[in-house]
Amino acid sequence: MYWKQESFNHLKKIVFDALEENSSFHDHSIMGLPATYLDPEIFPADAPFLCDSPYIKCFIENPNHIGLHTYHTSLPTFKGTQSIELDLLRICAEEIYKAESGEYDGYVAPGGTECNIQAIWIYREYFKNKFTAKTNEIIVLFSEDTHYSLYKACNLLGLDFHVLPVNNTNRSIDYISTEKILDRLISRGNKYIISIANMGTTMFGSIDDVDALSALYLRKKINFKLHVDAAFGGFIYPFSNPDSTLNFNNSNIHSISVDAHKMLQAPYGTGIFIIRKNYIDNVITKEASYVEGHDHTLCGSRSGANPIATWMILNVHGSEGIKARIATFIEKTDYICNALNKLNVRYFRNDSMNIITIRSEDISEDICNRYTLVPNSHTESPEWWKIVVMDHVNWNLIEKFISDLGTYRERYFEVSAA
Ligand SMILES: Cc1ncc(COP(=O)(O)O)c(C=O)c1O
């Protein structure tokens, strides 16, 4: 994985050149699009700071990246900024996730939720188109630690799902139970699996074992497609764990999605969806006849500024800069875990991830609320509380948290951190 670090001024020039290449609502003859620049009362296009703010400039110009730009045609009006989106997809697909050049499709979706729905939608249609599968022959499989967007996806797409149990301590999928579940599903008529594997579950940051899952499907000779939900871990795990095999070198992985608006500190609206070439054709909406290239996405219109923000962040740091940033998150997470070990506080943590999920019996609710830890449930009494280590979780905050937790543990558990 390697891409160069570029200066802000260099990136700024590329973005301004791309905006020049776009047709601007200000000075081109655009009469047919139901779109324009942002309201000038609120977003003045001539504010002096804009010449140094390529993202905000692009936001105000308001290019629409509707459709899919990895496809052979798309709306030419915004081709300048679309080419930046294509370069963003190249970095993610080829550099981070090891896809072959040009062997993928993708787009910048509103977020991880849409990416998951998009993946399941594509595979449902793929099974129907290629194998005349009936809806009730398709089953979506995911672990109990999987994000709730998968339940939404199955509900919206009218698909049956089965939740795979995980071990309560190490959070790994229970493959013995999964094999039994699979046998039952096959005997009741399920022939096609849409499998979701997590690169960082929301609550635990746990990583699913794609090889174990796919080996099971292959052994059972069942037709499957596997989507990796890397919404949370996708900009951490490949950087903190260079040996990761959760990428397109693994022929059992068909699509990956990753949120830039989580670990990459990009604005909301930057879920990156990448899928092996041609699968996405299963969801082309031909009725989008007035959109050049039609539409393959769930959302339709989407902001051209969002891919610009993400592309600039990746390039201003370069791959080495992102690695260094993730290394500081991991260092802080290690430090907190060491302190928890000394205080006999039980928790789950994957060594390459920046989430620590603490057993509720070992911490007071008052401390959790004071430091805005997130519980696994707001409706029942929580079993777990999580810490996500990011830029704003600074050393000062960490020391205060450890000190408060130490005082609590000494008072109620007679544990000394000394
Ligand atoms: C693993 C995982 N998948 C999907 C999502 C949904 O992402 P978004 O909120 O961007 O739609 C999240 C959000 O926390 C997540 O952690």
Instruction: Evaluate if residue 19 carries a pLDDT over 80.
Output: yes
- pLDDT given at position 162: 98
- d(CA 254, CA 209) in angstroms, rounded, equals 15
Residue 2: count of CB within 10 angstroms of its CB: 7
- d(CA 300, CA 319) in angstroms, rounded, equals 31
Task: Name the residue of 117, 232, 388, 390 to mutate for ligand 1: max ligand atoms within 8 A of Cβ.
Answer: 232
What band does 407 get if pLDDT is binned at 50, 70 and 90? very high
Over residues 194-218, the pLDDT tens digits come to: 999 999 999 999 999 999 999 999 9
3-state secondary structure of 47: coil
Question: Which two tokens mark 218?
Answer: 């292959």
- Average pLDDT, stretch 347-376? 97
- Ligand 1 atom nearest to 230, measured from its CA: 1
Greater pLDDT, 416 or 337? 337
- pLDDT given at position 417: 64
- pLDDT given at position 286: 79
3-state secondary structure of 284: coil
- d(CA 143, CA 156) in angstroms, rounded, equals 19
- d(CA 5, CA 161) in angstroms, rounded, equals 43
- pLDDT given at position 263: 92
Greater pLDDT, 9 or 291? 9
Residue 112 Cα to ligand 1 midpoint, Å, equals 5
Residue closest via CA to ligand 1's atom 4 equals 112
Extract the runs of DSSP E, i.e. beta strands, from 335-418. Answer: 347-348, 355-359, 374-375, 384-388
Residue 116 Cα to ligand 1 midpoint, Å, equals 9
Q: Where does residue 189 rank: exposed (0-12), middle (13-18), buried (19+ CB within 10 A)?
A: exposed
Greater pLDDT, 193 or 287? 193
- d(CA 54, CA 19) in angstroms, rounded, equals 9
Residue closest via CA to ligand 1's atom 5 equals 112
Residue 321 Cα to ligand 1 midpoint, Å, equals 24
- Average pLDDT, stretch 327-350? 98
- pLDDT given at position 379: 86
Instruction: Evaluate if residue 10 carries a pLDDT over 90.
Output: yes
Residue 80 Cα to ligand 1 midpoint, Å, equals 29
User: What's the longest Cα–Cα distance across the chain?
Assistant: 75
H/E stretch holding 321 reads helix 305-342
Task: Name the residue of 114, 145, 149 to mutate for ligand 1: max ligand atoms within 8 A of Cβ.
Answer: 149
- Ligand 1 atom nearest to 198, measured from its CA: 1
- pLDDT given at position 374: 97
Task: Name the residue of 108, 258, 259, 273 to mutate for ligand 1: max ligand atoms within 8 A of Cβ.
Answer: 259
Question: Contact, 91 vs 6, CB < 8 A?
Answer: no
Q: Give the closest residue to 152 by CA, choosing from 194, 195, 200, 113.
A: 113
- d(CA 63, CA 340) in angstroms, rounded, equals 48
Question: Which two tokens mark 97?
Answer: 């996730």
Q: Is the dihedral of CA 324, 329, 333, 336 positive or negative?
A: positive
DSSP 122: H
Residue 311 Cα to ligand 1 midpoint, Å, equals 20
Measure Cα distances from 67 to 78, 199, 293, 303, 306 in Å: 11, 27, 7, 11, 15
Residue 13 Cα to ligand 1 midpoint, Å, equals 33
Over residues 89-131, the pLDDT tens digits come to: 999 999 999 999 999 999 999 999 999 999 999 999 999 999 9
Structural domains of the chain in order of their starting residue, each with its CATH number: 318-411 (3.90.1150.10)
N-terminal to C-terminal alpha carbon distance within the chain: 42
Q: Give the closest residue to 363 by CA, choosing from 349, 346, 378, 350.
A: 346
Residue 223: count of CB within 10 angstroms of its CB: 15
Q: How many CA atoms lie within 13 A of 68 on its CB side?
A: 25
- Average per-residue pLDDT in the chain? 95
Instruction: Evaluate if residue 85 carries a pLDDT over 90.
Output: yes
Q: ∠ at Cα 269 (263, 275), nearest 5°?
A: 80
Question: Contact, 84 vs 311, CB < 8 A?
Answer: yes
Residues with CB under 6 A from ligand 1: 111-113, 116, 147, 149, 198, 202, 229, 231-232, 259, 271
3-state secondary structure of 194: strand
The residues near 26 (Cβ < 8 Å, ≥ 6 apart) are 37, 45, 61
Question: Which two tokens mark 385?
Answer: 């509380």
The residues near 20 (Cβ < 8 Å, ≥ 6 apart) are 80
What band does 418 get if pLDDT is binned at 50, 70 and 90? low
Residue closest via CA to ligand 1's atom 8 equals 112
For β-strands 104-109 and 271-276, DSSP reports them as antiparallel
Over residues 273-322, the pLDDT tens digits come to: 999 999 999 998 878 777 777 889 999 999 999 999 999 999 999 999 99
